[in-house]
Amino acid sequence: MKSKLLIIQLTIFMLFCASCAKHQSLGTGVSVDKQGNLKIDAPIYVINPKSENPKFIRAPSSMNYDVYAGIDDELRENRSRLEIKGGIIKGHLSITIKKPDNYMLNKAYFYREVPEDIIKSGEDTLTGELVLTVDNPDDYMPIILFNDKNVKATEHPEFFRFNMDNDRFAHIFSLGDVILSGENKSEWNWPRFTFFDINLKQGWNIVRYGEYLDDTLQDIVGKRTSNQPSSKAIWVLLY
């Protein structure tokens, strides 16, 4: 009798855990339909990062844009375009993005800053990062999910005055499970250290990108983690 009761309790617990996993947050207004398509229905904010005192503000109701969706590559030269419906309509982001075809994806989180020794599992798994822009990819006015409305400044004269990549999120589509754990130093473009703690599952995932200058204001320190967005996360159009 006790063993049967234990089995029932374990079954209920596993169903509860499975239910929790299904409700994992992918960000403000983001959901996945039964076909694996990504849907976003959320207010859109705007900011001009080149201004003297940039702030996130709600987009005006007069704002209307077509939205481009693609799977990124390292140099943004061979980006694969995704089928998308909707756009920015009356200052509101309302889109449905078809899940990528396999040929659009790359092996195991393909960025140059990811060395093989931190790929703990899923090395041959195909993945791809979603990129959203308005109008067309040549203009590159990106739409990015930020964790909150805070704009963080840097003091380094040769670095971005306002580091807009400081605390943002990326959506990654994966054909299987991938675990990345470790750190890497790269001299490409700028001396930098990047720490990884990423666990991708099959389907759509969300990865948090944190980036800042170290105390010497010489090196960039980055973090790539599977942390969830806050309830205050907002979609922002950079122009």
Q: Give CA–CA dist 230/63, Å, rounded.
A: 26
- Bridge partners (DSSP) of residue 97 are 38, 84
The 10 Å Cβ neighbour count of residue 159 is 14
φ, ψ at 65 (rounded to 5°)? -145, 145
CA-CA-CA-CA torsion sign (111, 116, 119, 121): positive
- Average pLDDT across each block of 10 residues of the chain; the chain has 239 residues. List them in order: 50 44 75 96 86 84 93 62 95 97 79 76 90 75 90 58 69 94 73 82 93 66 88 91
DSSP H or E segment with residue 14: helix 2-22
**Distance (Å, rounded) from C-alpha 36 to C-alpha 204?**
8
Determine the pLDDT at residue 50: 67
| pTM exceeds cut of 0.85 | no
Q: Report d(CA 147, CA 85) in Å as an integer.
A: 25
Separation between Cα atoms, residue 200 and residue 116, nearest integer Å: 16
Do 110 and 127 meet the contact criterion of CB atoms below 8 Å apart? yes
